[in-house]
Chain A
Amino acid sequence: MPLQVPDNYQEGTSTIHGLDPRVKVAAVVMFVLSVNLIPEGDWFMFLLFWIGVWGLIRVAGVGVFEVLKRSVVALPFVLAAIVIPFTLPGRPLFALPLVGWEVTEPGLIRFLTILLRFGMAVQMAVLLTRVTRFPDIIWALRGLRLPPSLVTVIGLMYRYFFVIGDEALRMRRARSARSASLPGGRRPSALWQTKVVGLMVGSLFLRALGRSERIHAAMLSRGYDGSPRLLSSFRMGFVDWLVLGFFGMLVLTLLVWRLG
């Protein structure tokens, strides 16, 4: 397979691998909610949660380093928060050397809080995809009553990501194969090159359109009527209810505590 977008899933036999995917998806969602309910700057609480995350990673038999490495892709999103330490009004702590921007105390606290919340949420998401096959996650989304058409789209995106990616790759190869240049010859102008790329994107779109029509015909051929139908691949066991209950209690407790 020329397109190397490795699936994150790693085979395993841990309790976490064996959980109903609906429970796993719901647990991650509830965890993210909980993390966002931790008060700003409550470092002890954050520490507890962080220990919890790494504990889960250990239980799943996945390396902490592995998860951190895969979480790095989310780092650019944190950059959006980088201005907060300088802009939030409050007691100035210190000024950056050279530029002289002042970091305020509430600003720094909020920034670190965002960093921690985000970091833990991403690690949990990475863990989820590490211990759950993507098709099972899609199945779980359906089971959790997300809008059926949305889930169908996600499923088709997963299925055809590679197919269309391969098509794009083949087109690029075919173009490179014909982009010979003679020694001393003029390179085509930037405008012309832009046009070629535009045409390629257009033709990729047309191919995808043709493909979607054929897929639709193939679905109709097997009786598809637009309604979702689902086989129950998993059954909720005792441990599933236990895990679900735990994360449910976690959110509830934090909610009551914050509101009370």
Chain B
Amino acid sequence: MSCLLTITDLSYAYPDGHSALKEISLHIGPGEKVGLVGSNGAGKSTLLLHLNGILQGSGEIEVDGNLVVPENLGSIRSAVGLVFQDPDDQLFSPTVFEDVAFGPLYMGLPEEEVRRRVAAALESVGMEGRSRRVPHRMSLGEKKLVSIATVLAMKPRMLALDEPTAALDARSRRRLTRVLQQLEETIVVATHDLSLVSEVLERTVVLDDGRIVADGPTRSILSDSQFLRDHGLV
């Protein structure tokens, strides 16, 4: 199987010396939906920040045949759509429209195409007609959905979502789950929401203290309750 994402021996320590990722190796094929699970502080967010070169550790990362190195960052960042956990970080523009248009605009697309993509992306997360809204007037659930639209509009090869369901109420959570189920893109979701994993993601990678401790079909990993307990997931 050809790989969309290949990580080889990735290690990373924060400037304060804290070692957050240790010898990570991971392969993800096109169309796969992968859950990156682990308790707080396991290193999920840190790993996602490496996928598009915001952080750069030792080791090698390849996305769609391109190494993640400074020269390639432009194409890497349009190939990997990274959605931050806090929508107040993800949505930095005055209006929803400008925010969703931001990525396509910086990809250098013509104006008509940008508008088409904004409309299509908002529609695919069920937020059509919201483009004039200002983020500080929207609910958390709406902001999370718009956050996903901001990267969908870039038509990335791969989506990387950080804790998409964190702090959502039941209804918003269901809505978001449905949206994720319908997406056809390759998806990596960092989360500790195991029911989201079992509903949407067929493969699970378990991270504990910066190391991958398991990688396999979601069903078999979630059925081992002793293992889940050992790694602080239940």
Contacts and interface: CB of A to CB of B under 8 A. Distances in A.
Contacts of A211: 88-89
A222 B89 contact: no
A222 B136 contact: no
B68 to A, nearest CB: 13
Interface residues of B, number: 36
Contact of B105 (A133, A135, A231): A231
B82 A221 contact: yes
Interface string B138-173: 000000000000110010000000000000000000
B98 to A, nearest CB: 7
B74 interface: yes
A209 to B, nearest CB: 13
A158 B107 CA distance: 25
Given A211-B89, A222-B150, A225-B106, A155 B84 contact: no
A82 to B, nearest CB: 38
B151 to A, nearest CB: 7
Nearest to B150: A222
Contacts of B89: 211, 214-215, 217-218
Contact of A1 (B84, B91, B136): B136
B154 A222 contact: yes
A163 to B, nearest CB: 5
A229 B91 CA distance: 17
Interface in B96-142: 98, 101-103, 105-107, 111, 114-115, 132, 134-137
B186 interface: no
A138 B103 CA distance: 19
Nearest to B96: A135
Contacts of A46: none
Interface string A190-222: 000000000000000000000100110111111
A218 B84 CA distance: 7
Contacts of A1: 136-137
A223 B105 CA distance: 9
A218 B132 CA distance: 21
Contacts of A221: 52, 54, 77, 80, 82, 84
B93 A155 contact: yes
A223 B54 contact: no
Interface of A: 1, 7, 133-135, 138, 155-156, 158-163, 211, 214-215, 217-225, 229, 231-232
The 5 closest A-B pairs by CB, nearest first: A223-B106, A135-B94, A222-B103, A162-B136, A214-B89
Interface of B: 49, 52, 54, 74, 77-78, 80, 82, 84, 86, 88-95, 98, 101-103, 105-107, 111, 114-115, 132, 134-137, 150-151, 154
Given A134-B94, A214-B84, A221-B82, 10 more contacts: A7-B134, A135-B95, A155-B94, A159-B91, A159-B93, A218-B90, A220-B54, A221-B80, A223-B103, A229-B106
